[in-house]
Amino acid sequence: MAMMRLRREDPRVVGSFRLHRRLGAGGMGVVYLGSDRRGQRVALKVIRPDLAEDREFRSRFAREVSAARRIRGGCTARLVAADLEADRPWFATQYVPGPSLHDKVNEGGPLPAAHVASIGSALAEGLLAVHEAGVVHRDLKPSNILLSPKGPRIIDFGIAWATGASTLTHVGTAVGSPGFLAPEQVRGAAVTPATDVFALGATLAYASTADSPFGHGSSEVMLYRVVHEEPQLLGVPDALAPLLHACLAKDPEDRPSTLQLSLRLKEIAAREAHGHAPHGPGHGAQHGHAADGRPAGRRADAYADQHTERRPGAGTPPRGAAAPRASSPRSGPPGAGAARTTGRNTPARPPAPRRGGQRPPARTVRTSPNGRRPNSPDRVRLLRQRLTVFVVVTLLVALGIAAAQGCQGPPRGLGVPTAPGAPGAPTAPRAAEAGPEGGL
């Protein structure tokens, strides 16, 4: 947080605290860095002189300080002391070191989705403690969130008000910041915890895009957009876009509760931290799909769940193996399925049979429907059966030929001498025909 030197008109001591630096100024007064005798540092706000003279303001301010004392939780700056009867009322809260969320984003750009969700989850828990104490912050914005080493802290409850109170003021105090106000605040209706949910949604959208979801312009233009126009969430990561869109609903009844918001942001933070379905800024959440084809907006969660369920299984199938039938030799000429499966770099002797077509010739390899060879015992048994049938048939054919030759009279064929110089002995039919002449 930026610090400035004390000005001439600034006090040097307030109550039991010594003032050292200026931390900032707002619609209600000036905030100083102070410390007590024990060295405890505080952020001390002194109310403006013109407001201090208004009795109605003093009465309301007293109720707000009383409500702030009831807030418990580690995500808020604890109230340390206050003096409501002083000439200029003041209150001191625990000093939180670290830059504001506004300065962090303004200097470093949009934050990753996991970081935004983690910050949002802690802030939602802080708001839950605030709301349980019966208080509505009413001015939650990036500059009122400090990023301390121990986590984000909500500060500046200067315009906080009890649940159900109106946002209208009678002495000209600020009612909030344009772009982060809820529609009911602009209309002057009663504020509820849903009012802070709207502001938190706008704050997280700013952290994701480095811009307000309602753009820029004069206060009147910004307030009109809050009431009548939809927020611009272009650039919000897909993992956060649906939830932030729900937080920015015009009707408070349509927004998630503080508890629901806290639990949902915890889930998103854990999922994004583990790298599931990474989402980066620049995706078109308003157009239904991201720039790379992934769905955005309300369909983002369903898309992430579907892809998360597929992930525990096998990896992405290689090209050419998407259809199981391609590995079967029946789907094309012999060897075609093997060529598509093995490729050029397949070794000649793989360590284990994978798919058909690994031994030439490819037509002799039979594969099962899943592309693997049959079990060895079945193959050996099949070969034995075929060999047995072949031997039996061969023997029967040979016996049949021998029997036929014996019935045609082999003794007569035995008397026919082989002619000298002949190329060889005559065949069995010719010997049978020459039998009568040889007998003469």
User: Could you give the CA distance from residue 9 to residue 355 in angstroms, rounded to a whole number?
Assistant: 88
Whole-angstrom distance, CA of residue 25 vs CA of residue 32: 9
126's tokens? 């802080």
Residue at token pair 């957009």: 225
Contact status, residue 32 vs residue 22, Cβ threshold 8 Å? yes
Neighbours of 75 (CB within 10 A): 22
Q: What residues contact residue 75 under an 8 Å CB cut-off, 6+ apart? A: 122, 123, 125, 126, 127, 129, 151, 152, 153, 154
User: Token pair of 353, please?
Assistant: 């049979």
Active site residue 139: yes
Q: Of 54, 103, 139, 156, which one is the catalytic site residue?
A: 139
Which one-letter amino acid corresponds to residue 129?
A
Q: In sequence order, what are the beta bridge partners of 82?
A: 91
What is the CB-side half-sphere exposure of residue 98 using CA atoms within 13 A?
20
Q: How many C-beta atoms lie closer than 10 Å to residue 294's C-beta?
A: 17
Active site residues: 139
